[in-house]
Amino acid sequence: MEKIIEEGRIVSLERVLGQIYRLRLHCPKIARAARPGQFVMLRVREGTDPLLRRPFSFSRIYALKGELEILFRVVGRGTLLLSRLPADSTLSLVGPLGNGFTLPADKSAPLAFIAGGIGIAPLLELIAQVVGGRGQKGSGELHLFYGARSAVELLPEEEVTIAGLRSHFATDDGSFGYQGRITRMFEDVLAEGAFRPLQIYSCGPLAMQYNVAKWALANDMPAQLSLESLMACGIGACLGCALAAATPKEAGEERFVHVCEDGPIFSAGSIKWEKILAQQTAPPTWPFN
């Protein structure tokens, strides 16, 4: 599949709430080729600060308009600079990259979508495509489980609700919806027995993804998890975005997968979770400088 380098024009950039921003870019070549779950490497600005591009998934793809929407949270210098760019300025994009989600062939399959924090981003486009593909006669329940630390980090309900989708919300502090982890809420709802998905799609912080994977493996349910990593090139050259891979072979032999080429979508069983949980990246220091 062809990878494209393209100058994207900022159509709009707005703060949604808290530190979450919505960026809309006009970049017709990449927008036409993009699929949900894939990503672009975005050059926040020219020059050497920051030096590297940053990876972002698509929260919406408007192929006909030639536009992409990127939902991002300000977490460091790159995203801070991005949030301050004026409308009409241009950015260099490389994409679409990665494997993307695989949509179920069965259009009546019940599905679960699990999002943590800004991890809602790639699921929005996926949900839009699944719902759109089912038409009026669409059957099969679609449930979104969407959690964040607090209500100020949760997109407003109307931003995520769509006809044909049942949404469940949770916050760690109970400021909106269920109080507690979204994976706990998901387990509670499934324990009631009324809803049993054929497949799970999830994106969120590593601890959440680990819990989703653990549950999926224990319950023998296929799951597609969108993972992330620090990344220099995004195209399989630098090999910087390695994650420890599950190895069926004898213990001791190490194997790595690369988020940019083998992912960013992985099955629950393909990752050596105990290894990658120990290697979570630290928070940025910029708020103190």
Q: Which two tokens stand for residue 262?
A: 């083998």
> What residues from 107 to 166 belong to the interface with another protein (CB under 8 A)?
none
Q: Pick between residue 151 and residue 206 the one whose CB is nearest to another protein.
A: 206
Q: Which is nearer to another protein, 139 or 279 (CB)?
A: 279
Please, are residues 113 and 202 in contact by the beta-carbon 8 Å criterion?
yes
Comparing CA positions, the residue from 223, 289, 286, 288 lying closest to residue 76 is 286
Minimum CB separation of residue 63 from another protein in Å reads 20
User: Six-digit token pair at 187?
Assistant: 């387990």
# binding residues, another protein (CB under 8 A): 39
Closer Cβ to another protein, 129 or 229, answer by number? 229
CB atoms within 10 A of CB 81: 15
Of residues 36 and 96, the one with the C-beta less far from another protein: 96
Instruction: Give the C-alpha separation, 104 to 233, whole Å.
Output: 30
The residue range among 103-111, 125-133, 149-157, 237-245 that interacts with another protein, by the rule CB under 8 A, is 237-245
If the CB atoms of residues 48 and 136 are measured against another protein, the closer one turns out to be: 48
Among 7, 14, 17, 49, binds another protein (CB under 8 A): 49
Locate 276 and state its tokens.
Answer: 């990658």
- Does the footprint of another protein cover residue 232 (CB under 8 A)? yes
Residue entry with tokens 């672009």: 40
In the complex, the smallest distance separating the C-beta of residue 92 from another protein, rounded to whole angstroms, is 7
Q: Is 286 in the site for another protein (CB under 8 A)?
A: no
Cβ(109)–Cβ(140) under 8 Å? yes
Give me the least distance between CB of 214 and another protein, in Å please: 21
Looking at this protein, which amino acid is placed at residue 155?
L
CA dist 29 to 4, 71, 91, 126, 224, Å?
7, 20, 14, 20, 27
Pairing of strands 39-43, 20-26: unpaired
Contact characters 251-280, another protein, x per CB under 8 A: --xxxx------------------xx--x-
Which residues contact another protein by CB under 8 A?
2-5, 43, 48-53, 92, 94, 229-233, 235-244, 253-256, 275-276, 279, 281-283, 285
